[in-house]
Structures are given as structure tokens and as C-alpha cells.
Chain A
Amino acid sequence: MQIEAQNIVKRYANHTALKDFSVTLESGKITGLLGPNGAGKTSFIRILNQIIGADTGKITIDGQQLNKSHIADFGYLPEERGLYNNMKVLSHVVYLARLKGIDKSTATQNAHDWLDKLELSDWKHAKVRQLSKGMAQKIQFICTVIHDPKIIILDEPFSGFDPINAELIKQEILELKEAGKTIVLSTHNMNSVESICDNIILLNSGNKILDGSIKTVKEAHRPDTYHIQFRGNVIGFTNALWAGYELIERKQLGNEHFVATIKLLNDNTINNLLDTVIPHVQIEGVNEVIPSMNDIFIQAITEDSDG
């Protein structure tokens, strides 16, 4: 299902959480919803889930205005999540599934399937309070997807998981993506964004400041900076860079053996750089510095806040 949010504005008593926010979320894709605390992510997620309403703007699902009939199409895993501690695992999962509108027998069957899949079958008659934190997190994930929603919104889905279970959940999310679900992943964990997201939306103070595929965003944020590993006279190397380049950093690896980080200036290319330094030193390796999502996040937020 494709979600189109157009010109969404959400105001609270003392601030505006979303300012004319528009975005498209595609089916079969995982979209990372990023931003610092207070950026407006939770407000947007709540609006999508119809927990709160937007003041202005429009959201459509496959062209149809978002309404209460879409409730069963959504699966939502909030960031700070809880369960009823006194309920038994199976009853709890079935209860939340039925609240989403599926019948008891389907809910029970799906619950058994998911508990098997996430290796929790032995705990289905245990009370929630008897579960470890990781197990409870898995139950919460099951509650999110048990009714086979077409749109899945995951807020920090990996928090609280050990690396093994985090990988297990990651694989489940990727399977759901392959099944054509529209997945929104809100997180501060940039590694998980890089590893599973197809697209990102970056919010700051209610404004969208970045939107696009990971590849496009990274391309747009290339810093034109390279690591050059070389042997030879470092003074000659440095003097050669006096115009058109900026030596950001230099490290000595051994006797006359260095690695330097150089930023290209004035429309110079990597070939120009190599032409400049090859006469002075012996080049051993060249790598472009690719920005991480973390770098892009910090850079974009800083620039937006300063600007």
C-alpha cells in the first residue's frame, strides 16, 4: 500500500510538531524516519495510526483518504512499549489481534505460528511478567504483525534486543518487506538504517530536511574527500597541495609511510589530485571517503539548525 501524506500540520499548545510535512511511503520498501528528539516523528506516526488527527493536510492510502477502516491495515510497534503483565502470552497476543478486528480462530492460529517462528512456543501459557526483556520484545513484535497488516510502523524495533535476537527481528522485517509490506522504521540507530532501509526521511523541528533513497542521499552528501596512502617525502607531498586541495588529516604509518585525508576544492577531481602528488611520492592506495548515515544525520541537522 502506498501512503501519501500531503501538507500535514500538527500544532500543540506550545509548539508546532509538523510544519507542512509531505512524504510518500512506498510498498515493498523500508523507509527510515529519522530525526532528533522532538523532530515530529512520533506525531507523524500517531497521525498515521489515527491515534491523533492532523490539524491540516491529507493522508491517502492507495489513493483513499485515511479512515477508521484502515485500522486493521496498520501494525504499530511503539518505542516505549508494554504489555499486561498479568496476562498469559497466548491470550495477550490473541487479544491484541482481535482488537485489530480479526476473528478468534484466525488470531489463535496466527499466534501459534508466530510463537513457533520466534521460538516462544514453550512460553505461550506463561504470564508476561515471567518473560525476559528480550522475550517480551519478541511478543510485542508478534503483536505488531499478527494480523498481517499491510503497513508496519516500527519505532526503535531493535532496542532491548541482544545481537542474535536483533538479527532475527531484522530478518523478519526483511521478509515482511519482500512480502510487499510498507514499512516505516523510526530509529536513532544509524547502523540499522544503513543495513535495512531503502529510503530515509529526515525531520528536524517539524520540517522535512532530507528525503530519498539511501543511495541518493549518500551521493548527495559525498564530501569530495579521499584517503591517500603513500610512501615518500611528506614535505614535498604537502607543498604540492598548496592550491585547490585541503589537507584535513595526516597520519604516519611507518618510516616515510603515510595516509592523508584530502578534500578536493575548486572543482578539482581525484585525477587532478593524483596528477599533483604522483611526482612527489609513491601512491599505495586511494579511497573515497563515503559518509555514514550518522555523519549525514549530524551534518544535515547542524546545517538546518544553523541555517
Chain B
Amino acid sequence: MRLLRIRLRDFRGVHDREVHLAESGVTVLEGENEVGKTSTVVALDLLIDFRDDSKAAPVRGAAPAGRDAGPEVEAEFVTGPYHVVYRKRWLRRRLTELHVTGPTTEQLAGREAHDRLLAILDETMDRDLWLALRVEQHTPLGQVDLGGHDALTRALDRAAGGETVGPAVDAAAEGLVERALAEVRRYHGGHGRPVGPLREAGDRVAAARTEADAAAAAVSEVERDVDLRAELDREATGLAEERRAQNARVRELEDRWSALQARQQEVTTSAERAEAARERAGRATERQDARAALVAAAATAEQRAARARETLEGLEAGDQARREDLAERRTEADRALAASDAATAAARTAAAELAAARDRAELADLRGRLRRAETAEEARREAAREAGGPCADAAAVERLEGLDRAVVQAEAELAAGAATVEVTGLGDRTAVAVDGTTREVADGESTTLPVADAVTIDVPGAVRMTVRPGLDGEAARRRVADARTAREQACAALGVADVAAARAASRAAGEAASRVRELAAVVERELGGRPLDDVRGAIATLAERIPAEAAEPAPTRRRGARRPAPDEPGLFEEAGLLDDASGDPEPEDLEPLRLEAVRTLDAADEAHRVARGAEEAWRRLDASVTTAGADVVAARTALAVARSEADRRTGELREARAEYPDDALAAAATDALARARRYEADHEQRAAALEADDPTTVEALYATAKRAVDSLTQRTADVERRRAEVTGRLQVAGGEGRHDRHAAARTELAAAEREHASVSRRAAAAVRLHDTLARRRDEVRRAYVAPFRREVERLARIVFGPSLALEVDPALRIVSRTLNGVTVPFDALSTGAKEQLGLCARLAVAALVDAEDGVPVLIDDALGHSDPGRLERLAAVFGAAAAGSSHQVVVLTCTPARYRGIGANRTVTLNPSYPPPQAVPAADEEPPDTDASDPTSTGSAEFRAG
């Protein structure tokens, strides 16, 4: 089909517009938004699809807004051999007109026209392809579904060279594949899993087989039980037989065993009798032995008693001799003790004397020390008194010297300020008395004297000159007088005449203080730090302790002692005190006393040692005497015991002999032994006879036979029990209808298997059919995939470059794109690349399809995702697609720049087409071409040759 012309009237926003399209090649319709580009496409669909009496939503949507006019579309096109002008108006003043101008002229209207047109289109045009090659606004320009389009497949079939089989593809055949697949799906899910009837049939077979197996098992269980029961019956019969035979055998053995048991009893009895006789013989022998032992014991006891008597006698003799010796020793010890006591008394006396002498010496020493301390103390107190005088105060003496210096200063000041008298010697040594003081004045020598006060100068003999100071020296003189008065008062306070005396007194006080310290040291040394009263107390204690007679020698010796002279100057006295105790009485000579005491003590020790030795010797002897006495007592006791034992034994023996004399006992023993031997022989004989008849074997046989009977009884009971069990089971099973169940189960299994076979066959048929159909279809498709792919690749290489390769599946879908060796699935490509490939695919189809079969490729504002570089190449694609082909491409765009480079055969700029003002008569519909830019004019298209 080729569109030549489309005219819209009162269609949506378009008042009236006619567009002429290039018969082949690219026509670009460009215009602003809402100018009615898309309406042009919509109008074509309405024209074909909706009858003029339709009030469907798309028809109503095409009515112009706000105006009471029916939308009208007129199209002129060539399709197949037909050249057609077709016009329709809906809603208002409806009409349908069809003018066919070739190959034969037809003129139709109304319903006839509509139907005739559809018939023409069905005859000449692949309408699915027409829709498929269209790219709507705002829909992604992606994969195009091209499978099953008549025109395309015819074209591809031609391209593949497959002419001979006639029309290659039938859309109905495609539907058959779908139906065959649906049939397969009835039986097989994913992965060949059985579903629906096939699965049900399989389940039925499985269930039936399970049931048949169970039923067969139930039946064979009964059959086994029947066999078992027969077996048990046989066994029971055999067992009864066996028991009868075994019972007879038991009875026979029992008789033999009973007889043997009686004899066994006899043997046992004889054995017991022999045993009793052996015991009696043993007892007689024992009594004989006991008698002999008793005789021996009596003799032994008698011997022991005799030995004890001898021992006692020896001991008693030794004891007497030791007692005599003991008395002697006792006397000796007493003597030595007395001598020791005397020596001890002498030693004690000598020690007493020595102690008394020592006390006296100490008393004398203490008394001397006391006396010296008292003297020193006294001297110390005296010196302290001296040291404590007024001049002892060093500060007071200092002050006095200060006052003295003040006097001298005052006098000096007076002299300095006073008039002077110069006395000059005129002759040889003249004596002059100045204020009473005589001095000699040599010739030429002069002395200057200050006249502080009235100075009297006497030249002896000659004159008395009194020089008095004038009034001007009065103040100085009064200050001197005041200073002197103060000095005199201070001297008086100190009790001294003048300053020199004060200095002497101060020095004396210092010396006295040092003496006080020295004397205190003396007292300290003499008393050893003890207060005087302590020393006095010690003296009193000592004096009391010394008895009067012991103190007797002391006065004689004290007479020789030097007595101190009380009138001697104290200085010496004091010196003596400091030196030693020269004033003490002479000490007593203690040495002879000490020697005496030592000697007597030694003698006492010796005497004591001797006495101790004697006593010990006595005591030792005494102890041995005591021990020997105990031995004697023990020996006496032993004798008594031995005697008593000997008597008892003798008595016992006597009594025993009175009862049984020794020879009677011997006869009884011999007799008993003989009887025992007899009985034993009898028993052995019987036992040997019994053993010869082998009672053990008979007993074993008997026991075995009895056990066999028991075992048979047991087995019989067991068989009976099992038989009862089986019988019970059979009774139960008999009423269960197991045969019926088994028969029903087998019938069901056979039916289920038949059904399964039938369903499986149907499923296999479906699979086979689908496989065959699909394989055939794919073969056909593969045949025309190649030319399609070649054409798409040819175009796409312009965009993507020469390395591009595409994979296309039998449904003519692009599977993947390979570029520079990198393969990317179509779905993973960018939107832009998908768009470009989609466009290439459509243009390829258009280029492939036969010119007569072809339909226009309609592209409504696509390629929004392509960059300028690709756009340029896409433009070349349009050109390449057009080359050598006569198909029609219509591009609608609001951005003309996108399609500038495509070399359009015709570019139509669409301008708004508004309705004229009310005043303008609507009949004026076909004005001559006017200025296209005039917005109020009837819309028209401006044609430019592409």
C-alpha cells in the first residue's frame, strides 16, 4: 500500500488539512506540538476500522472540540492493483464514499463501500505488518514482532529462494502449533513432568498396583497358612506316635531304676554302720592314750615340787647373811654424818665473822663520805653567798661604767670650752701645784690647763693664783656636776666607793660562782648521786646491823686516824676535800677472816661427801636384802603350787584306776578295732556288687527318657498352639473375602494400565505432533531469517560500524548484538541501541517486502534516545534503506533537526489549522494556496521537493 494523500476535516484540532506524501522514499511531516501530526495517523486507522455509524470512543474522541461538526477523513492510496479514494464522516452527516479508479472503476457508498474496502485491503495488504511497522509516539522503539506476517514472510521466502512450495507460511499453521502445544501441556508440565490425565492415569496405576500387591499378599498369606496348617497336622500326628513309644521305654527304665535304688539304700546303710564302728574303736584308743598321759603328768608334778623345795632352802640361807652385814653398814653411816655436821657448823661461824667485818668497813666508808659532803656543802653555800652580792650583777656594773664615761665626756666638753691657763717654766724645774696637785715644770716647757672651774695654781712659795671661769662656762659646769652626782648615786647603790671598786667586786663574784660549781661536783662525787638523807639512812641501817660485840674492834682502830683541824684556813680544807678521803678511818684487814672461812668450808664439804658415801653403801645393801626377801617369798609360793599340782594328779590317777584299771582299757580298744574292720569289709562287698550292675547308666538312661517325654509333650503343646493360631487366622481370613478383593484389584489394575497406555499414547501423539510442527516451522523460519538478518545487519552497520553482527531467532527477533567481538543480549542493550536496532529492523522489513505488498513505515517522533552522532548515521540508514527499494516511509516529528540529514524526498511543514470565524461561510473550503503562515487561513500543507 502506498499513501498518496490524506485530508482531515474537523478532526480533533484540525479544521481542514490535506497532506500529500511522496510516493516512495521518506516524507517528513514536521510541526509544533499539538499541530495534529498524530491525528493524521489516528485518522487513517479510524477510516479503515470504524463504520460511519460507529460511536466508539475513538470516533467520539475525534470530534472537534466545541463545534457541532462530524469529523471527516479522506485518503487516496494505491494498494495492489487498486487506486482508491476513500472518504468517511462520522457522528454528523455521516457518509462513506469509495472511488476505485483502477483497474476498473467502482463507485460505492455506505456499508457497501466499507465492506468493499476491507475486502480490497485483505486481498492486497498485510495489515498486521502495517501495524507492526508503525512506531507510535511515546512507545519505545524496540523489538518488532515480525513472525507470521504474510507479506514479510512471502518476501523473505522469495529472498530465501523458496518459491516452489507455494505460500510458505500460513498464520493458521502458527495457530496449530499453539494448539498442539496446548495439547502437550495437557499432559506434560515443565521438565516433562506428567500432569492432568497423564498424571492421574499414572497415579491410578500406582494405586491399583499397590492394592493388587496387597491383595495378592493377603491371599498368599492364607495359602501359606493352609500349607502350614497341613504341615502342623502331620507334625502333631507324628509327635503322638513318638510319645507313645517313648512312654513305654520310660516305664521299663523306671522299673530297673527302682530296684537299683533299693540296693543303693542297703549299701548306704552298711556304710553308715562301718563308720559307726570305726568311730567307737577310735574312742577306745583315745581313752587308752589319755590314761598313759595321766600317769606321766603325775610323775612330772612330783619332780617339780621337789625342785621347788631345794630352791627355797638355798635362798633362805643367803638372806640371813646379808641382814647381818646391813646392821654394820648402818652404824658406819651414822658416824660419818655426825662428823659432817660438825664441820658444817665451823664453816658457818667463819662466814659470819667475815660478813660482820665487811659491814663495818662499809659503815666507816659511808660515814667518811657523809662528813666530806657536809663540809663541801657548807663551803658551797658560803661561796654562793659571796657570788650573790650586788656587784655580781654585771649589767649594773656596766651601767656604772657608762655613767663614768658620761662624767669624763662632760668634763672634756667643759675643758674644751673653758679658758686655759698656760703655765710655762721659767727657771729650772719649778714646782707648781695645780688644785693641790704638784707638778714640776721644766724651763721652756709649758702646760696648758683648762679652766673649767676655779683652778688654783700655787707656786709654792710664791703665789696662789685662783683662776675662775667666767659666766659663759656655767652650763657645762652644771652638766659635769650632774654626771658626777649620777655616778656617785650609782656607786652608792652598788655599795662601792668608785668605779674601780665596783669592777673588783664584780670579778670576785665571778670567782665565787666557779667555786660553787666545783664544790657541788665534790658533793656529787662523794654521795654518788644519792641525796644526803638516803646516805644517812644507809648508815643507820648498817649501824643497827652490826652487833655491839662485833663492832667492838672498830673504836681501837679509829683512834689512829688523823683528825682534821677545825681552825685551819678554809682554803686548805677545801683543797683536801677536793683531793681524797684522807680524813677517813683506817679500814679493817679482812684477808685472815676470808682465808679462815674458805678453809672451814672446804673441811665441811669433805666431811659431807664421806657421810654421803657411807649412807649410800648402807642403802644399797638394804635394797639387795629386800630383793632377796621377795625371792624367798616367791620360791615359797612356787613350792606350794607344785605341791598342790602333784597331789591333784596323784588323786586323779588314783580315781581313774579305781574306775577302769589300765589293762581293762587296753582290752576294750583291741575289741572295738576288730569289729570296725569287720563292718567295713561287709560294706565294701555290697558296694562292689551294686557298682557291677551300673546304676549310673541306668539312672542316666531313665532321666534321658523322661526328658525326651517332657520334650515331646512340650513340642506337642507347641504344635497345638501354633495350629490353634493358624486355625484362628484362617477363620478370620475366611470371612474377609480376600479373593474378591484380589480379583477386584487385578481387574482395576488391568483397567488402570489400559487407561494409562491410552493416555500415554495420546500424550505421545501430542508431543510428536508439536515437535513435528515446531520443527517444520523453525525450518521455514530459518530459511528466511538469513535474508532478514543480512538486511538488518547491512543497515545497522551504518550505525554501529562494520564489526557488527546480529543473531536473529526464527521468530525474527534480534537475540543479541556482537560488536567488536563483544556479544550483548538484546534486552541488555541501552535504550538508544535498542531504538536504533528497532528502526533498522523496520526499515529492513520495508526494504525487503515487495513493493506491491509493502506498507508504509510510520515513525511518530522516535529516536529521542539517539545522540547526534548516531542520528547522523541513522539518517544515512534511511537513505540506504531507500536505495534500490520503493517503499514508503513517513516520519512525524516536532524536532525537525533530528531528521535533517535523512534526505527526505519530501518535507511537509504542518501549521495549525483553525476553524474560520463564525462569520466566514464554511462553504469556502478550497481556497487557492495562501500564505501558509497565516494562522487564520484554512490549514494547508506547503510542499517542498525533498
Answer yes or no: do A and B interact: no
Chain A residues with CB under 8 Å of chain B are none
